[in-house]
Structure 1
Amino acid sequence: MHAKQVIPRAALAGGIGGLVAFGFARIFAEPLIQQAIDYEDGRDEAQDALAAAAGKPAAEMGPDIFSRTVQANVGIGVGMILAGVALGLLFAVVYTVVQSRVTWRPRVLALLVAGAGFLTLYATPFLKYPANPPAVGHEETIGDRSGLFLVMILGSVVFLVVAVIVGRRLAARVGTWNAALLGGLTYVVLSGVLMALLPSLGELAANVATYGPVATETPQPLRDAAGRIVFPGFDADLLYSFRVYSFAAQALMWGVLGLVFGALAERASGRTGDAVEAGAPAEAVDA
């Protein structure tokens, strides 16, 4: 397939993947987001009460630009569909480069490229820096958190390229399967080293200053001056469920992208092959 055939099909497949992921997230993750927002509002009220008791002014809260209804439906939906399209375009670039070097069926190659994208752009970085709902993490650390996640993404991509090179060079000596295992081990080791070198989010200065030696970004119980708990810490079950559903939504997006594009690519390749066998002119084949 030519690039002009790959790009629109990949964008369509990515958009469908984003739509499916949104449907899943709307059903399973959105209620957890609302619970997290409710927790944040309750904690803010408790902090304002403590501040008032200590004679300090309450923190000022900015107005919400969009309502929760808009955020939970239009906002997240449009965002995930556009994200799917963007990933589809990135997928198209990688697919176009790789297809010229292998002889695999389009459906197989599509699934492998989608799997590699999910692994490097989300799954591996997620192991070090998992997704968090609202109320987890300080506003002061947004820049640091984004930067660290980007470092994990870049490292993951580089490590996958290194793993592929290692596997290809060893294939002739140790066999295809053994070379694949050694390449995979290379990726795991390099990713593990990077994860060990990078700080956890709880070690960021703002989190340590707030929660002390526990070094976590998850809100701990709020205590008054006498040390009594006046508001509980963030629900661990809610945090766990949110992360599971976030991971599943991304897996759905990449999975649908690979499956849909693979089907479209197989169909296009079949038509092209039929046209060539029938002696159709090149212009008709490329159309």
Structure 2
Amino acid sequence: MNSATVRNLLVRGMLAGLAAGLLALVVAYFLGEPPVDSAIAYEEGHSHEHGVEAVSRTMQSTAGLSTGVLVYGIAFGGIAALAYCFALGRIGRFGPRASALLLAGAGLVAVYVVPFLKYPANPPSVGEADTIGRRTALYFLMMVLSVLLAIATVILGKRLAPRLGNWNATLAAGALFLLAAGLAYAFLPAVDEVPKDFSPSLLWRFRLAALAVQATLWTAFGLVFGVLAERVLTPGRTAGERRAAGGGGAGGPPRGRGV
């Protein structure tokens, strides 16, 4: 893939990330902010220290949230677009849109869901201040392990396919991924710092909201970026031809300006 194509995909990935960030922002505001407010109220009711806020809660939940999510979406879109450039043509004979959706789905599982199941998100007032560095390190370690295992799974599946067939190779590689992730779950230390009197329903709602935000971000990115990438990689096709090839199957990597 030439540098001009990579640059075009990078720009479109950032635009798709911005669009996905806007949708994720809506989900974060309506689903995530109410549990955060409840958690802050719990913290204030159980704390004897009442400092002055450097940034008001209103500013945090509006401008602060918007800036954080949108900047994250743009950066996330750029990184995902580069990963797409590397993966295109290496994960099977799929069209641009199908490849984008597959990459988004695999990224959601490897980057977020697998680490989330071991170290789920917690609202304010949950977790000791002295252990934040340790908890952050453990989370990122689990995320790195998950991503490496996902890459190894794809490589193993492709190597097993000639002998076992695509279906059996996928099942075998997927089983090894689950086994390796299970071993990581077993050997990495657990973190449980939820106060005993903290509302389980509030914790559940917060974690579901965090999962919904990430699912919205990755899914929206896969859908939007797939359309934008297809226009870069198959510029000579009509709209009907692009729709017919978008499902992958016999598509394969594009020629000329593609891989």
TM exceeding 0.5: yes
CA RMSD, Structure 1 to Structure 2 (Å) = 1.6
Contact 2:126 2:194 (8 Å CA) reproduced: yes
* Structure 2 gaps, min length 5: 239-256
Q: TM-score, normalized by length of structure 2? A: 0.87
**Equivalent residue pairs, number:** 236
The one-letter amino acid of 1:267's match is: R
Change (3 A) 1:125 1:38: same
Paired with 1:185 and 1:94, the residues of 2 have a C-alpha distance of 24
Stretches (4+) displaced over 4 A: none
Paired with 2:10 and 2:93, the residues of 1 have a C-alpha distance of 20
User: Is the partner of 1:201 in helix, strand or coil?
Assistant: coil
Q: How does 1:96-245 map to 2 (within 5 A)?
A: 96-101=85-90, 102-202=92-192, 217-220=193-196, 233-245=197-209
1:217-270 deviation digits (Å, cap 9, x = unpaired): 1112xxxxxxxxxxxx11000000110111011000000010000011123334
Task: Report deviation, 1:63.
Answer: 2.5
* Structure 1 gaps, min length 5: 49-58, 203-216, 221-232, 275-284
1:175-226 deviation digits (Å, cap 9, x = unpaired): 1011011111111110110011011112xxxxxxxxxxxxxx1112xxxxxx
Matched residue, 1:93: 82
User: Is the partner of 2:235 in helix, strand or coil?
Assistant: helix
Paired with 1:255 and 1:118, the residues of 2 have a C-alpha distance of 8
Task: Report deviation, 1:100.
Answer: 4.4
Paired with 2:191 and 2:65, the residues of 1 have a C-alpha distance of 25
- Residue 5 (str. 1) matches residue 8 (str. 2): yes
Matched residue, 2:247: none
Of residues 100-109 and 85-94 in structure 1, the stretch that sits farther from structure 2 once superposed is 100-109
Contact 2:9 2:232 (8 Å CA) reproduced: no
The one-letter amino acid of 2:129's match is: E
1:252 is aligned, of 199, 216, 240, to 216
Task: Report deviation, 1:271.
Answer: 2.3
Task: Report deviation, 1:121.
Answer: 1.0
The one-letter amino acid of 1:3's match is: V
Paired with 1:266 and 1:71, the residues of 2 have a C-alpha distance of 37
1:42 is aligned, of 39, 42, 45, to 45
Paired with 1:184 and 1:235, the residues of 2 have a C-alpha distance of 36
Paired with 1:100 and 1:171, the residues of 2 have a C-alpha distance of 16
Matched residue, 1:214: none
1:138-186 deviation digits (Å, cap 9, x = unpaired): 1111101110001001100111112112211111111101101111111
Matched residue, 2:232: 268
The one-letter amino acid of 1:262's match is: G
Task: Report deviation, 1:273.
Answer: 4.7
Q: How does 1:69-84 map to 2 (within 5 A)?
A: 69-84=58-73
User: Percent identity among equivalent residues?
Assistant: 41
Specify the structure having the higher radius of gyration (Cα): 1
1:56-81 deviation digits (Å, cap 9, x = unpaired): xxx5x442111011100111111111
Paired with 1:143 and 1:63, the residues of 2 have a C-alpha distance of 24
Matched residue, 2:244: none
The one-letter amino acid of 1:92's match is: A
Matched residue, 2:20: 17
Contact 2:156 2:173 (8 Å CA) reproduced: yes
1:1-43 deviation digits (Å, cap 9, x = unpaired): 7101110110111111111111011011101100000000001
Task: Report deviation, 1:129.
Answer: 0.4
Matched residue, 1:26: 29
